[in-house]
Structure 1
Amino acid sequence: MKFFQKYTGLLRTFKAVYVLNNLLHLKQLKHNRPLYKKFGLKKPVYASVSSVDFEKLPPQPGPWLDAPDATFKLQKTQELDTFPAEIKEQILQWPTNGYLILDKFFDHKTVDLVNQEIDLLLEQKQVDFNYTNRKIMFAFRQSAAIKQVVYTPQLLQILNFLMGKKVVPFQTINFLKGSEQKAHSDSIHMTTYPLGYLVAVWIALEDITPQNGPLFYYPGSHQLPYVLNPNFDHGGTAHRIGDNAYAGYEKRVQEVVNENNLEQQIFYAKKGDVFVWHANLLHGGLPILNPQATRKSMVIHYFCQDVVCYHEITQRLALLPEELQHSFSLRDDD
């Protein structure tokens, strides 16, 4: 796993390498067996898989708030009244906007502790930057303090309600600098079957300014069709991933933005603010204007229970630690 986090060369384009990696980590894939059986996908769990495989299966319902009558359903749901008024109002706009902004959700003490933990984990070499040299992956697996943030009860209550299913944290990504990533949907990186059962949480670990590469997003873009492998020139074959697959994806997303005249919004967050977004909301990071400026932040990606989780471009299933297996799939009938 660490190999794929750091390596950027030719081997990364061969599907057989991922199959071999899957075979070496088969225990981290076994939760998919009952899911494959449930959905009728007749493939071994170590094999490549993509949206092309799933589109041949009978249609499955997506998240309840993706339905055309989602706003009506929300207004009739008594559970909505359990949320504070300011959060309730934003949840009502979720079907239209595809995001929530939770002001001052985490206090400064909590945020400072996360920053201290990241500094310590880096110093002790328990975590490292991945091949992007921007992202620190899975720090919550190494830190009880960060894990406590990930499992914040009020946050999980909101996410479970939005998804209509129990959510389970899959990964954290910590940034010391802005990502400067072009517009994208998280569903190209962390795809689900059925589509839409991923939700992301972004936490500002310091104040965000125009200088340090703020987060940008396109309200309502989650309602557009997902851009997946069949929808752009990925250059792949039966045996290889295209050399410029992700560049082709980014090009297609920018075309979608232009074709739909999407209006970009910028999130100038304050320390402790939280941005929650839909699996298909288009977003990214603006250029860093001050190279010396940090933009400390943490993203948490949560998959939903009882769905297949995979990576569309590389066509590999998500590897899950054994302690999380039961959370994603309650039983294995094999």
Structure 2
Amino acid sequence: MKKFLPKDWINSAAWIDQENANIDEYVKRHGDSVDFDLHEKLTFWREKGYVAFEQVVPHDLIDALAGDIEYLRKHYRDFELYAELRGVIKPIGEFSEEELGLDGVKFNSIQTVSLAAARLSLVKEVSSFLGHVFQSPACALQSLTFYKGSQQSIHVDYPYVRCQTQLAKLAASWIPLEDIQPEAGPLVYYPGSHKTEISDFFDWGDGSILFESDSKRQPHELSVYLAERMKNAGIEPEVFCPKKGDVFIWHGNLSHEGSKILNEELTRRSYVTHFTSLDAYPPEHKHPSAKNGSGAVVENGGYCFDYPWLKQTNKLPSWTI
């Protein structure tokens, strides 16, 4: 098995993460292609590792995904999908109906069966902005749905989301499916922590920077490491309590976590997508029919490819609307 080292991250960094990145020159050439302040967003991304857009996500798409999720809970045996409950990931058909009704269930890569989810992944501002970050069209790698706050300890994404052919070509979007309350365990992030001079590279064993099945260290050790790095850098966490219609986009090396749920009655329904660039999308994840213009949802310059290993053709209700 190939071992991934710090150089694999550094050598695959997006242009904007490189020392000689010239945002002024880039915007002169590309700034007219968007209807937001590209210079402001790229500069903020370079310094802070995230950007947010307010009220750009269509509410009807959000409601359609919520409807798809409820349909999936009732008809889950009709779909070839994975779900996660309390850290256990397995085919959705192996869960009981009672388990899938619990608060902590996550549905993985629902964009493969929900048109609403695929279109939410490819919201115009997300696809457009990440297309400029990557200098290549944005492609959804995978997605997760959340019903309540994750309360997940501090972490970064790339040790776990790493099938892209260029390791550092990684980002994520977080879309609330409702207004998020401070007591619901909202998302917490650490501004500027995406810079490798702050985070450095956690050694999972023998110099590897990725979490493997045979890694000598475990995820909780990464959390301890990152917490210490944040403390040493003097970076204070910030809390994200968005409104329905907002979207938050973060760098693949931005430290973030799920805060403690203070009111168990509150939900934190949300939808997360992890992205890479078209030139780094793993070929084995691209359906052969994509060459003929099918086998993918293409919208706003971004792509959601069908996975070639999925055999079922059943789709959730948003495909027929």
Q: What TM-score results when the alignment is normalised by the length of structure 1?
A: 0.70
1:253 aligns with 2:226: yes
Corresponding letter in the other structure for 1:188? P
| CA–CA separation in structure 1 for the residues paired with 2:211 and 2:168 | 26
Unaligned runs of 5+ in 1: 1-47, 310-317, 329-334
Which residue is 2:84 aligned to? 130
Deviation per CA, 1:103-139: give whole Å up to 9, x if none: 0111222211111111111221135631434421011
Corresponding letter in the other structure for 1:181? Q
Q: Give % identity.
A: 25
Corresponding letter in the other structure for 1:107? P
Which residue is 2:181 aligned to? 209
* 1:41-120 correspondence to structure 2 within 5 Å: 48-52=1-5, 55=7, 60-73=11-24, 76-86=27-37, 88-120=39-71
1:279 aligns with 2:252: yes
Corresponding letter in the other structure for 1:296? R
Corresponding letter in the other structure for 1:124? H
Shift of 1:60: 3.0
Unaligned runs of 5+ in 2: 88-103, 292-302, 305-321
| CA–CA separation in structure 1 for the residues paired with 2:47 and 2:267 | 32
Shift of 1:300: 0.6
Deviation per CA, 1:231-264: give whole Å up to 9, x if none: 7999x9998344x611111111111111111121
| Contact kept in structure 2, 1:168 and 1:304, CA below 8 Å | yes
Question: Aligned to 1:202, what secondary structure does the other structure show?
Answer: strand
Q: Which of these residues, 164, 169, 174, is aligned with residue 197 of structure 1?
A: 169
Relative to structure 1, the CA distance from residue 253 to residue 121 in structure 2 (aligned partners, 3 Å threshold; closer, same or farther) is same
| CA–CA separation in structure 2 for the residues paired with 1:232 and 1:219 | 29
| Contact kept in structure 1, 2:51 and 2:249, CA below 8 Å | yes
Which residue is 1:293 aligned to? 266
Which residue is 1:27 aligned to? none
1:240 aligns with 2:182: no
| CA–CA separation in structure 2 for the residues paired with 1:277 and 1:324 | 31
| CA–CA separation in structure 2 for the residues paired with 1:106 and 1:299 | 13
Which residue is 1:140 aligned to? 111
| CA–CA separation in structure 1 for the residues paired with 2:73 and 2:49 | 34
| Contact kept in structure 1, 2:185 and 2:259, CA below 8 Å | yes
Which residue is 1:227 aligned to? 201
Shift of 1:194: 3.8
Question: Aligned to 2:116, what secondary structure does the other structure show?
Answer: helix
| CA–CA separation in structure 2 for the residues paired with 1:220 and 1:285 | 18
| CA–CA separation in structure 2 for the residues paired with 1:175 and 1:146 | 13
Q: How many residues align?
A: 269
CA RMSD of aligned residues (A): 3.3
Question: Aligned to 2:16, what secondary structure does the other structure show?
Answer: helix
Deviation per CA, 1:206-226: give whole Å up to 9, x if none: 111111111111111111345
Relative to structure 1, the CA distance from residue 85 to residue 302 in structure 2 (aligned partners, 3 Å threshold; closer, same or farther) is closer
Q: Which of these residues, 298, 303, 309, is aligned with residue 276 of structure 2?
A: 303
Relative to structure 1, the CA distance from residue 102 to residue 180 in structure 2 (aligned partners, 3 Å threshold; closer, same or farther) is same
Corresponding letter in the other structure for 2:41? Q
Question: Aligned to 2:31, what secondary structure does the other structure show?
Answer: helix
Question: Aligned to 2:285, what secondary structure does the other structure show?
Answer: coil
